[in-house]
């Protein structure tokens, strides 16, 4: 006859180990201790740490590239200040100016292309384009973008100051063909610097704020082509040496990177937070002005049962 405890023992509870089993060498059932409890796999932890490491690695690479570009600009500025023409400037310019220039219906294609690319960087044209872009962004309710477009102007001021400090003369007609003789200094190329900062920032704004569409993609291609061709056009027209163009690209990039970083920070800090606050306030306002719903007893109550009564299970 079984005892009361044996009859009412839970079927899933492990039976205690008898002394005979211990004497026969049978091992008791293994119960994991605290140290043996399964923990989070190390691979998962590594995957969670990987994005942070990747961001840190990219920041380190960007910082190193920034320092290298700054060092190259300083060396170029000293060289341009010391020598009127750097090695390779004249041969490269002559090679560029000897590019085939087919004439179609009396129009020199290459010359007009190079001159047309450069024309947007002169004072009057660049000012009109800048004001127009600011107004367009402002009318599109993109106030932050309009403000940062205005912040591209100090890059031109920095370029003008460097021109005065370096004091390098323009290419001479005795060495290369010069289309228009300008009275300002040569290093760095102001057109190249302006295009890199201004059109580079517009390209970035179009890429992150607008969905892919034929109009948006066309504007992005135009901005990219202007940046890529302006340096070649300045050499082709005899307005700058190749070293001036390289300096303009580097100085423009050194200004554009912090500008984009500041814009992304301000966009995440102000635009995103303000939009979320406006959505919350709009939701509260809609909820406050929402009329109460009047339900009939037949819709909200079961027959003979109040809405506050507890349902029977």
Which secondary-structure segment (H or E) carries 38?
Answer: none
- Give strand ranges (E) for the chain: 103-104, 107-108
On whether the pTM is more than 0.75, the answer is no
Give ∠ CA 233-236-242 in degrees, rounded to 5: 85
Structure confidence at residue 301 (pLDDT) = 44
Which neighbouring-strand residues pair with 107? 104
**Beta pairing, strands 107-108 & 103-104:** antiparallel
Structure confidence at residue 258 (pLDDT) = 95
Give ∠ CA 301-305-306 in degrees, rounded to 5: 65
Structure confidence at residue 246 (pLDDT) = 95
The distance from CA 208 to its chain's CA centroid, rounded to whole angstroms, is 7
Contact indicator for 179, 239 with CB cutoff of 8 Å: yes
Q: How far apart are CA 137 and CA 183, in angstroms?
A: 35
Structure confidence at residue 124 (pLDDT) = 93
CB atoms within 10 A of CB 76: 20
Structure confidence at residue 4 (pLDDT) = 45
146: alpha, beta or left? (left if phi > 0; alpha if psi -120 to 50): alpha
Q: How far apart are CA 291 and CA 287, in angstroms?
A: 9
DSSP letter at 80?
A: H
Q: Which residues contact 89 (CB under 8 A, 6 or more apart)?
A: 171, 241, 242, 243
Structure confidence at residue 181 (pLDDT) = 84
- Tens place of pLDDT per residue across the chain (313 aa): 454 445 555 555 455 545 544 444 555 555 555 555 545 555 545 555 566 778 788 888 889 999 999 999 999 999 999 988 999 999 999 999 988 888 887 788 899 999 999 999 998 999 999 999 999 999 999 999 999 999 999 999 999 999 999 999 999 898 999 988 888 899 999 999 999 999 999 999 999 999 999 999 999 999 999 999 999 999 999 999 999 999 999 999 999 999 999 999 999 888 765 555 555 556 666 666 665 555 544 444 444 444 333 344 4
Q: Which residues contact 110 (CB under 8 A, 6 or more apart)?
A: 99, 100, 101, 102, 236
Structure confidence at residue 297 (pLDDT) = 46
Q: How far apart are CA 301 and CA 54, in angstroms?
A: 59
């Amino acid at each position: 006859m079984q005892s009361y405890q044996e009859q009412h023992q839970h079927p899933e509870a492990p039976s205690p180990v008898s002394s005979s089993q211990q004497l026969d060498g049978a091992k008791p059932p293994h119960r994991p201790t605290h140290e043996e409890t399964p923990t989070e796999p190390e691979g998962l932890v590594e995957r969670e740490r990987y994005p942070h490491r990747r961001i840190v690695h990219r920041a380190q690479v960007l910082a190193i590239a920034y320092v290298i570009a700054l060092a190259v600009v300083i060396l170029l500025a000293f060289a341009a200040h010391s020598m009127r023409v750097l090695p390779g400037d004249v041969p490269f310019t002559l090679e560029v100016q000897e590019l085939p220039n087919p004439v179609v219906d009396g129009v020199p294609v290459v010359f007009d292309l190079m001159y047309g690319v450069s024309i947007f960087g002169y004072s009057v044209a660049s000012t009109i384009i800048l004001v127009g872009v600011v107004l367009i962004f402002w009318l599109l309710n993109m106030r932050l973008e309009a403000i940062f477009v205005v912040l591209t102007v100090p890059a031109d001021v920095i370029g003008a100051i460097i021109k005065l400090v370096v004091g390098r003369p323009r290419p001479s007609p005795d060495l290369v063909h010069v289309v228009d003789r300008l009275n300002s200094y040569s290093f760095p190329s102001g057109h190249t610097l302006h295009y890199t900062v201004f059109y580079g920032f517009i390209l970035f704004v179009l890429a992150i704020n607008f969905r892919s569409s034929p109009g948006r993609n066309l504007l992005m291609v135009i901005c990219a082509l202007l940046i890529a061709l302006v340096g070649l056009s300045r050499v082709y027209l005899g307005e700058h040496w190749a070293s001036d163009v390289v300096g303009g690209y580097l100085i423009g990039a050194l200004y554009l990177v912090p500008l984009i970083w500041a814009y992304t920070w301000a966009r995440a800090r102000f635009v995103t937070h303000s939009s979320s606050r406006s959505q919350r306030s709009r939701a509260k306002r809609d909820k406050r002005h929402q009329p109460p719903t009047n339900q009939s007893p037949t819709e909200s109550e079961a027959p003979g049962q109040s809405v506050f009564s507890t349902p029977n299970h």
